[in-house]
Amino acid sequence: MERLEGMIRDKIQHVNENIAVAAGQRLLAGFPIKLMGASKTQPPIIISEAIQAGLLLYGENRVEEAADKWPALRASFPHVRVEMIGPLQSKKAKEAVALFDRIQSVDRLSLIEALAKEMQKQGRQVPILIQVNTGEEPQKGGVIPADAHALIKSAQAYGLTVEGLMCIPPADANPAPHFALLRQMAAEHGLPELSMGMSGDFEEAIKFGATIVRVGSAIFGERT
Ligand SMILES: *Cc1c(COP(=O)(O)O)cnc(C)c1O
């Protein structure tokens, strides 16, 4: 465990150094870039090592998995934040609203309706990001760019706090045009948060203005 702890700490430090290099003047100009640990499949023992190494923001992909892991982790570490970054079924809106500090994967009207209803019921405002399927891949979540404007307006009309946009570019493509598109769309709507960039491309995403990078394997190692 001694070695494991040192390893995760080193990896977080390494990623943070690479973020700082990619950010350059932006960090000095006071635009902080948040590192999110993509902690899907990671057990609590590993996550708690990362928390103790100073990483305080996490993203989970599945409601059930998050519900199993995070209540106990939050009890031990009340200052951590956990956000939903995976596909979300409307029937899980209740659990998601209760569990997460923000939901990044909002991509359709039916989900907006379900979330708005639950937030009202629970008296809890959970901010959201709209996920945009910049590559228009059929198997991937996210609203297609042509429909994003209407969806953002709908979410706002339902009283949701839309803080920004999120995307996952196609795995085999140059991500740069996808990051550029997301930045342009966020700017058009005056949305501050840009969640883009993963282990393989977070430096590139930062060059295109990412405010949140979601990093899994570069911190926790390859998922098995
Ligand atoms: C798993 C995951 C990541 C992190 O992926 P890595 O390549 O391991 O860094 C980021 N975002 C989402 C939505 C993910 O599901």
Q: What is the pLDDT of residue 31?
A: 77
- Asked whether the beta carbons of 158 and 93 are under 8 A apart, the reply is no
Structure tokens at 97: 């609203």
Q: What is the pLDDT of residue 4?
A: 60
- Ligand 1 contact via 205 beta carbon (within 6 Å): no
Would you say residue 190 has pLDDT above 70?
yes
- Ligand 1 contact via 11 beta carbon (within 6 Å): no
Give pLDDT tens digits for 102-147: 999 999 999 999 999 999 999 999 999 999 999 999 999 999 999 9
Specify the 3-state DSSP secondary structure of 212: strand
Question: Residue 3: pLDDT band by 50, 70, 90 thresholds?
Answer: low
- Ligand 1 contact via 135 beta carbon (within 6 Å): no
Average pLDDT of span 77-96? 98
Cα 51 from chain centroid (whole Å): 17
Percent with pLDDT over 70 in the chain: 97
Would you say residue 80 has pLDDT above 90?
yes
Would you say residue 2 has pLDDT above 60?
no
The overall average pLDDT reported for the chain is: 95
Q: How far is the CA of 217 from the centre of ligand 1 (A)?
A: 8
Average pLDDT of span 156-182? 97
Tell me, yes or no, if the pTM score tops 0.85: yes
| Residue type for position 6 | G
Would you say residue 16 has pLDDT above 80?
yes
CA–CA distance, 105 with 101 (Å, rounded to integer) = 13
Question: Residue 32: pLDDT band by 50, 70, 90 thresholds?
Answer: confident
Q: What is the pLDDT of residue 213?
A: 98
Question: Residue 15: pLDDT band by 50, 70, 90 thresholds?
Answer: very high
Q: What is the pLDDT of residue 18?
A: 96
Smallest CA separation from ligand 1 atom 7, residue: 199
- Ligand 1 contact via 40 beta carbon (within 6 Å): yes
Q: What is the pLDDT of residue 5?
A: 58
- Ligand 1 contact via 219 beta carbon (within 6 Å): no
Q: Which atom of ligand 1 is nearest to the CA of 200?
A: 7
- Structure-token match 């809106």, residue found: 93
Nearest to 95 by CA among 114, 72, 80: 114
- Ligand 1 contact via 35 beta carbon (within 6 Å): no
Structure tokens at 33: 């870039």
Average pLDDT of span 15-42? 90
Smallest CA separation from ligand 1 atom 10, residue: 214
